[in-house]
Structure 1
Amino acid sequence: MRIDLHCDGVEAPPALREYVARRMRFAIGRFRDHIQWARVKVADVNGPKGGTDKRCVVQLRLRNLPDVVFAINQLEVRAAVDEAADRVARVLAQRVRRHQRPVRATAASLAVVPA
């Protein structure tokens, strides 16, 4: 599984790239068999205007499940990445749990054997 990091308007020193990769690997590590690839995009939305302007967009391509895509806005890049990593772990747990839930037997599908 690969994790691609794209930065728009945000300086991406090696320390930030390593931080994003480490947080995302930790968040999605136990689901690696279900993930084809992950893309994380960090951007400065408002530029020099200020405000809640750091956005972290996460896109996951899953095997046999719908893609996961969402965006988190925060004041700081690392805060956005942290919140995105927490959310991606919750969303993946839900998706995988729903997908692996066994099919319940209905009354019509149960064979009745006379005694």
Structure 2
Amino acid sequence: MAPTIITKGIKAGEAIQEYIQERMDTMLSHTQNSIDYIMIRLSDTNRIKSGFKKRCLIQLSLPGMSPIVVTEFAADMKSAFDSATRRASRLLNKTLSKAKEISHTTMPLYINRPILDLN
């Protein structure tokens, strides 16, 4: 699945887009069928006090579930993207394993008396 890449304040050239696509394919290869949409936001922030200037936000949309959103700040874009990808992968695996543990069987509803008494 090809992620949607949105940038603000930086230029995402062909090399960074290929790196992102390759990294997402390897990190999320076993869960590709569970993801509807992948959005990656790369931006340059002015965090002078903390020293971190690059931000990477990854949003994974899952069918029938709340989206998974992970944000990471780092000094350079690759390290921000790598740590955000690791966190998103761990959170996705945890979310999907919890969803599989939930029993999805429905129980029949037995009513001993009539719901509406028309007499």
TM interval, short-chain normalised: 0.7 to 0.9
Q: Note the 1:1-115 alignment, pairs <5 A.
A: 1-46=1-46, 51-103=51-103
* SS of residue paired to 2:57: strand
Q: Which has the higher strand share?
A: 1
For 1:22 and 1:100, the matched residues in 2 are separated by: 28
How far did 1:66 drift?
A: 1.4
- Identify which of structures 1 and 2 has the higher relative contact order when contacts are C-alpha pairs closer than 8 Å and 6+ apart: 1
The residue type equivalent to 1:29 in the other structure is S
How far did 1:102 drift?
A: 5.0
Equivalence for 1:111? none
The residue type equivalent to 2:7 in the other structure is C
- Residue ranges of structure 2 left out of the alignment (5+ in a row): 104-119
Between the two proteins, the alignment pairs up a number of residues equal to: 102
Identity, % of aligned pairs?
A: 25
- Residue ranges of structure 1 left out of the alignment (5+ in a row): 104-115
Deviation string 1:48-96 (CA, Å, 9 cap, x unpaired) is x582010000111101221101210000000001001111110011000
TM-score, normalization by structure 1: 0.81
The residue type equivalent to 2:42 in the other structure is V
How far did 1:2 drift?
A: 3.1
* SS of residue paired to 2:30: helix
TM-score, normalization by structure 2: 0.79
* SS of residue paired to 2:36: strand
The residue type equivalent to 1:27 in the other structure is M
Larger Rg: 2
